[in-house]
Structure 1
Amino acid sequence: MYQQSGVNQNQRARESEIRTDPSAFSVVPVVLIVGQHADAVVAELRHSAPGGEHWHLTSSATPEDALRLTFAPAPDLLVLQVDASISETHPLFEYARLAWPETFFLLSTPCTREEVQPLFSQYGDMPLASPELASLCAAIAHEVATLSHGSLRGLSLPSFLQMMEWEAKSLAIRVQCEQDWGRLHLKQGRLVDAYVHQQQRYGEAAAFEILNWQDTTVTIERSYRNEHDVIGQPLTSLLMEAMKRKDEGAHAKVLRLDDFILDKESKEPPVLEWDQAQAALPPTLFPAPIVFPSEEKSSVTIPQFNIANVKDTLDTALETIDGAIAAALVDYGSGMALGMVGNGVHLEMAAAGNTEVMRALVGTLKMLGIQGGIEDILITLDKQYHILYIVPSHPLFIYLVLSKDQSNLAMARYKLRTLTQDLNI
Structure 2
Amino acid sequence: MLTRVETKKFLLLLSRQAVQLEQDLRRHSREAAKWRIETTFSVAAVISAYESFPPDLIVLDPAAIEGELITLLEHAKRNWPRTFFSLLSDQPESAFQAVSERFGSLPMIAPGGSPEVSREIEKEMVGLVNGKLQGLMLSSFLQMMEWEAKSVSIHVSSADRWGRIHLYQGKFASAYVHPLRLPDKEAAVEILTWDNISIAVERSYHNHKNAPLLPLSSLIMNAMVRKDEASLSAPLSGELETGAHEDLADQFLFSEDAFDLPPMIGGNDALTVAEEIDDDEMELYIIQNSVSVPSREIEKKLLSKPNSRDILVGDILSIDGAVAAALVDYSSGMALDMVGSGIDLELAGAGTTEVVRAQRRSMELLGIKGQIEDMMMTLEQQYHLLYVLPGTTLFLYVVLRKEQANLAMARYKLKAAAAQLQL
Same fold (TM > 0.5) = yes
Please give the residue correspondences for 1:171-320 in structure 2 after superposition, counting only pairs within 5 Å: 171-228=152-209, 232-253=213-234
Shift of 1:79: 0.8
Partner of 1:366: none
Q: Is the 8 A contact 1:389 1:399 kept in 2?
A: no
| Offset from partner CA, 1:251-286 (integer Å, 9 cap, x none) | 0159xxxxxxxxxxxxxxxxxxxxxxxxxxxxxxxx
Shift of 1:138: 1.6
Shift of 1:69: 2.4
Aligned mate of 2:140, from 153, 159, 162: 159
Q: Is the 8 A contact 1:172 1:186 kept in 2?
A: yes
Q: Is the 8 A contact 2:175 2:185 kept in 1?
A: yes
Aligned mate of 1:103, from 83, 93, 96: 83
Shift of 1:33: 1.1
Q: Distance in 2 between matches of 1:231 and 1:68?
A: 37
1:77 matched to 2:57: yes
Partner of 2:14: 34
Query: What secondary structure sits across from 1:174 in the alignment?
Result: strand
1:405 matched to 2:371: no
Highest relative contact order (Cα 8 Å, sep 6+), 1 or 2?
A: 2
Shift of 1:57: 1.7
1:43 matched to 2:23: yes
Partner of 1:142: 123
TM (norm. structure 1) is: 0.58
Q: Distance in 1 between matches of 2:10 and 2:187?
A: 33
Aligned mate of 1:121, from 88, 101, 107: 101
1:61 matched to 2:58: no
Q: Distance in 2 between matches of 1:57 and 1:360?
A: 57
Letter in 2 for 1:116: F
Query: What secondary structure sits across from 2:187 in the alignment?
Result: helix
Shift of 1:182: 0.6
Identical columns (%): 29
- Greater mean alpha carbon deviation, residues 51-60 or residues 87-96: 87-96
Letter in 1 for 2:138: L
Query: What secondary structure sits across from 2:155 in the alignment?
Result: strand
Structure-2 change in CA distance of 1:382 and 1:111 (3 Å): farther
Shift of 1:398: 6.8
Letter in 2 for 1:69: A
Q: Is the 8 A contact 2:57 2:85 kept in 1?
A: yes
Structure-2 change in CA distance of 1:228 and 1:74 (3 Å): same
Q: Distance in 2 between matches of 1:130 and 1:359?
A: 53
Structure-2 change in CA distance of 1:119 and 1:88 (3 Å): farther
Q: Distance in 2 between matches of 1:210 and 1:164?
A: 16
Query: What secondary structure sits across from 2:95 in the alignment?
Result: coil
| Offset from partner CA, 1:297-334 (integer Å, 9 cap, x none) | xxxxxxxxxxx9xxx9xx99x979x99xxxxxxxxxxx
Q: Is the 8 A contact 1:34 1:60 kept in 2?
A: yes
Q: Is the 8 A contact 1:184 1:191 kept in 2?
A: yes
Letter in 2 for 1:248: E
Q: Is the 8 A contact 2:382 2:400 kept in 1?
A: yes
In structure 1, list runs of 5 or more residues that go unmatched: 1-23, 255-307, 324-343, 362-373, 391-395
| Offset from partner CA, 1:351-378 (integer Å, 9 cap, x none) | 88766569977xxxxxxxxxxxx54599
Q: Distance in 2 between matches of 1:176 and 1:383?
A: 31
Shift of 1:164: 1.1
Query: What secondary structure sits across from 1:96 in the alignment?
Result: helix
| Offset from partner CA, 1:141-187 (integer Å, 9 cap, x none) | 11111211111111111111111111111111111111211111111
Q: Distance in 2 between matches of 1:173 and 1:38?
A: 31
RMSD: 4.5
In structure 2, list runs of 5 or more residues that go unmatched: 250-301, 360-373, 385-398, 402-423
Structure-2 change in CA distance of 1:236 and 1:360 (3 Å): closer
Q: Is the 8 A contact 1:170 1:223 kept in 2?
A: yes
Q: Distance in 2 between matches of 1:239 and 1:134?
A: 40
| Offset from partner CA, 1:184-233 (integer Å, 9 cap, x none) | 11111112211111213340111011111111111111000011576743
Partner of 1:416: 382
Q: Is the 8 A contact 1:190 1:234 kept in 2?
A: yes
